[in-house]
Amino acid sequence: MSQYHDPANVTNPEHAEHHIISPATYIAVFVTLLIFTGITVGAAYIDLGILNPIVALAIACFKAVIVILFFMHVKYQSRLVKLTVAAGFFTFLILITMTLTDYMSRAWGLW
């Protein structure tokens, strides 16, 4: 990057190379997603009691994370982009938690 006029080192502070993800990685992610889709369907037919929704959501979160990291290239992006993505989901969790706290405390004992 030295050929650019960049005294404050702002244009590419992490010197992140543009990374081209190979089709082999995409195929591995694709197969993993299909396998976990099968697992989540299978788990729905097994009575796990209170764990059924937890398992289903855990698998969904895992699938979403590998889509974000690999299909959406976030694993190879700069820290700014990673922080943006994380901040978005974190804010969403805050909103859910605070709204739920309100609803639960208004019907105490009924949840």
Q: Which positions touch another protein (CB under 8 A)?
A: 1, 3-6, 11-12, 16, 18, 20-23, 26-27, 29-30, 33-34, 37-38, 40-41, 43-47, 52-53, 56-57, 59-60, 63-64, 67-68, 70-73, 77-78, 80-81, 84-85, 87-89, 91-92, 95-96, 99-100, 103, 111
Q: How far is the CB of 109 from another protein (least distance, A)?
A: 13
> Residue 51 has which token pair?
């764990």
Scan for tokens 């909103």, then name that residue: 95
Q: How far is the CB of 61 from another protein (least distance, A)?
A: 8
Q: What is the DSSP letter of 9?
A: -
Cα 85 to Cα 80: distance, rounded to the nearest angstrom: 9
Q: Is residue 56 classed as helix, strand or coil in its secondary structure? A: helix
Residues in the chain: 111
Is the distance from CB of 74 to CB of 67 less than 8 angstroms? no
